[in-house]
Chain A
Amino acid sequence: MSDEERGRLHHDMGGLPAGPVERAEHDYAPWEKRVDALMTLLSRHGLLRVDELRRNIEGLGARAYDRMSYYERWMAAVSAILIERGVISIDDLGRKMAEIEAARRQEPAA
């Protein structure tokens, strides 16, 4: 029986083969900094706990966990927590996402 069949969750990958560690520093995109700021603010206002953030990241499922970047996982988790807590509704989020998509389509290609 594999560790996964015994109950190891996907994110809990300590000690598994992973290739070399990437040691180079990298810049953060403006949106990534905004996600970081959003998380700090929500936490300070008692609207989110870091443990809830972890639970939601761990609950993304293996495919989404591997496909998403670090801050994409954060954003997915922050959205899920705010919906759970009743801060925003699914409808609010869906409409805002569609609005931003539409605005982006009207911008000339960079």
Chain B
Amino acid sequence: MSRVPEFAARHRPGDRVRVRAAAPPGHVRTPWYVRGKSGTVERLCGTFGNPEELAYNRSGEPRQPLYRVRFRQRELWPDYRGRDHDTVEVEIYQHWLEPVSTAEREA
């Protein structure tokens, strides 16, 4: 059996990542409310066909790593009235994530 082409996982649990603030047309699995926001990789869920391609009945290959990313509610919602440490986790494909540099984190 031939190997299904896939992208290598770039992020590890604990890494800080930012969701790209893009707004392409078409079927996109990245919710609007996390775009442009930073969070922490909680786990790698696996590698799956890219739904943006599968939506047009194409192969979805190379397959994309999918991560569960944890965000602080306070950072998503300016008027959040819950507790400071409340979080929400969203599953996001790798091509929507970029690393947050150490310099940026400490700035």
Within 8 A of B (CB), among A1-16: 3, 6-9, 12, 14-15
A69 to B54, CA, bound (A): 25
The number of chain A residues with a CB under 8 A from chain B is: 16
A12 to B77, CA, bound (A): 16
Contact A54 B23 (CB under 8 A): no
Contact A54 B55 (CB under 8 A): yes
A73 to B23, CA, bound (A): 24
Contact A8 B32 (CB under 8 A): yes
Q: Please report whether the interface of chain B is mostly helix, strand, loop or mixed according to DSSP.
A: loop
Contact B55 A52 (CB under 8 A): yes
Contact B76 A55 (CB under 8 A): no
How many B residues are at the interface, by size bracket? 10 to 19
Contact A52 B56 (CB under 8 A): yes
Contact B57 A49 (CB under 8 A): yes
| Contacting residue for A6 out of B23, B27, B31, B51, CB 8 A | B23
Query: Counting CB contacts under 8 A, is A33 at the interface?
Result: no
B residues less than 8 Å from A55 (CB atoms):
26-27, 55-56
A4 to B25, CA, bound (A): 12
Considering residues A3, A14, A84, A85, which has the most beta carbons from chain B within 10 angstroms of its beta carbon? A14
B residues less than 8 Å from A7 (CB atoms):
23-25
What's the least CB distance linking A57 to chain B, in Å? Answer: 9
- Encode B1-32 as 1/0 by CB contact (under 8 A) with A: 00000000000000000000001111100011
What's the least CB distance linking B80 to chain A, in Å? Answer: 10
Contact B76 A8 (CB under 8 A): no
Contact B55 A12 (CB under 8 A): no
A79 to B65, CA, bound (A): 31
Binding site for A on B (CB under 8 A): 23-27, 31-33, 51, 54-57, 60, 76-77
